[in-house]
Structure 1
Amino acid sequence: MGMRAETGIRRSRKARTAPFQETYDAILERLIVARQEAGLNQKEVSAKLGFSHSFLSKCETGERRIDVMELLQLAELYGKSADFFLKG
């Protein structure tokens, strides 16, 4: 396989992720809202779940992608269903 195949894969991968960025940003906004509605700050959440403070901060700012299992842990702590984050 030549460079074209590699370039095509990169382009198609990039094309698939770009349309979903707006959706992911909305999930992150709901993540922050859920934490605030639960009356918790990032340090409290981090301590309760055993995450580092920087981990949660990076997740909320989009610097780090959040894993499905991590999202489920946060949803449980915040008293929200997974649908709250995924469907708004």
Structure 2
Amino acid sequence: MVGLRQAAGMSQAKLAEELGKPASYVAKYELGERRLDAVELCVILRLTRADPRQFFVKLYDASPDKL
């Protein structure tokens, strides 16, 4: 997720502002201290202008075989 934000040329503070959240919100999910739900993820993909198909293909390819 850090890469998406950086590719969009956004700081944590700027993305947090766009989300209407404190900067700690972005920091926590980027550090893996917090998970995003599907709606939050879609909003972040939209704000960073990321290709959702490409994002999910990479996520799928990197996922483990077991939980």
Q: TM-score, normalised by structure 2?
A: 0.78
| RMSD (Å) for aligned C-alpha atoms | 1.0
Q: C-alpha displacement at 1:49, in angstroms?
A: 1.2
1:20 alignment counterpart: none
Q: Which contiguous aligned blocks of 4+ residues in structure 1 show a shift greater than 3 angstroms?
A: none
Tell me the SS of whatever aligns to 1:48.
helix
Alignment equivalent of 1:61, drawn from 4, 20, 31: 31
Larger Rg, first or second structure (1 or 2): 1
Q: Determine the C-alpha separation between the residues in 1 that align with 2:21 and 2:53.
A: 23
2:3 alignment counterpart: 33
The share of aligned pairs that are identical, in percent, is: 33
Q: Is the contact between residue 34 and residue 80 of structure 1 (CA under 8 Å) also seen in structure 2?
A: yes
Tell me the SS of whatever aligns to 2:25.
helix
In the alignment of these two chains, the number of paired residues is 58
Q: Is the contact between residue 71 and residue 82 of structure 1 (CA under 8 Å) also seen in structure 2?
A: no
Give the counterpart letter for 1:76 in structure 2: R
